[in-house]
Chain A
């Protein structure tokens, strides 16, 4: 085992894995974490704890992940290269693993100008591929990046990365995931999928490159709350494409949120049939209370006991 995390075991035993997402509080109110954990516990195998996503300052992903463990769930700590250089990130990896965090997702991070600290100096000492490689080196070679120096202890991390099949240039997207695989990633979570045709095309490229045999691909799914949200995302979020047919379906529904959940469940069932997809990553943004219903309707419950 690489880290012995619950998520790793779920994959190893051939189960279809389920992860979700938890945004830390915009302050130190631990109650926010508890509330979200209570919505998610038992419905997912592990939960991603975001690292100042969209560059909005929140509680650190390490501290939040440590609370998530205390509250009886397994975290997937996200780490972005935007805010920390390799010294800080390696130091944080020592601390995170010591606190019992066993999964990481290595990301570049949203650009700081999208957030609430637009005058910050961004770091980007490493990019996400290099971060993946650094964590793998620490885990497998037991040394620091680019050095012979042995680490005191074990950095048992199950290493994740992200992929966006919907950004451009499309032909490069699978190659970039292949690079992450070569750098040492164990699992990949994708951007929210609405354009199923393009996702399937991307998965074919992934299979042609043999990446699906080395890496567990988790399809990213975000339930739509309303036709308005769908239109907004389609128009304003670079790297997300939402087919018009889907927007129409949301617009015509008697109750948008109900239709959104229904679509979400159908999407889960559809991606499950695709060769090489080993799990789903459910990003119910500020709608965590729906995860129980979605996983149940999609036939994903109960979650396997792997210990």
Chain B
């Protein structure tokens, strides 16, 4: 899922400065799971912002809402009345959800309250790590289910660089070397021979974001 981190309160306060009545919108999906923008985080941030503005002598009125998925048009539309009553929206959803509101509400400023960081998994409670870069052409079948695009600092497709030491990456020594993981798993799957195949250069230019924003269309689903 998408992982995000709340922006520094100082930064949020700065762009909320012109407003005294806002909607703080969370999202019930990814950012709830990573504790960055769910119902709880909305309430907590709202309380902190109100106190900050109260201390500054400029009280801020905040409506709180947490739609199930802010990136879906149906849920965004449900916010129409509420958004009509405020001067601006601070959204704790990922960058996608912010833009869904942007698309639906042309005259209301929508501010991001989190930095959308990566596509990742929950390693343990309180720890999330990047696992996918949405490169557009999955090669996990070639790399024993471990992605070197997302997990190798140099995105190496044909084996570890010289900086792999005791299973760790020289760039972030607490991080596992992706190619050590690929090697270990290939070994346990009895597929070491697959690592001798050369993985050709990726087609970044036509399959990834480098060809502009991507979209997926399913004609059968359209009505």
Q: Give chain A's interface residues, CB within 8 Å of chain B.
A: 82, 86, 108-109, 111, 113-114, 122, 124-130, 133-134, 145-146, 162, 164, 166-169, 171-172, 175-176, 178-179, 182-183, 191, 238-239
Contacts and interface: CB of A to CB of B under 8 A. Distances in A.
Contacts of B184: 169
Interface stretch (B37-45, B86-94, B118-126, B157-165): B157-165
Given A164-B162, A238-B164, A239-B170, A172 B195 contact: yes
Contacts of A129: 157-159, 198
B163 A111 contact: yes
Interface in B115-165: 153-165
Nearest to A209: B196
A127 B165 contact: no
Interface of B: 153-167, 170-171, 177, 179-180, 183-184, 192, 195-196, 198, 200-201, 204
B200 to A, nearest CB: 7
A145 B200 CA distance: 11
B173 to A, nearest CB: 8
A277 B167 CA distance: 28
A108 B164 contact: no
Per CB-CB distance, the 9 closest pairs between chain A and chain B, nearest first, are A164-B162, A238-B170, A129-B158, A176-B159, A238-B165, A239-B162, A130-B201, A169-B183, A238-B163
Contacts, number: 97
A111 B160 contact: no
Contact of A167 (B160, B192, B195, B200): B160
Nearest to B177: A168
Contacts of A82: 154
Contact of B170 (A86, A111, A127, A182): A111
A278 to B, nearest CB: 21
Given A124-B155, A239-B165, A169 B201 contact: no
Nearest to A82: B154
Given A124-B155, A169-B180, A175 B162 contact: no
Contacts of B156: 108, 124, 127-128
A108 B171 CA distance: 14
Contact of B160 (A126, A168, A182, A183): A168
A179 B192 CA distance: 13
Given A169-B180, A172-B159, A122 B165 contact: no
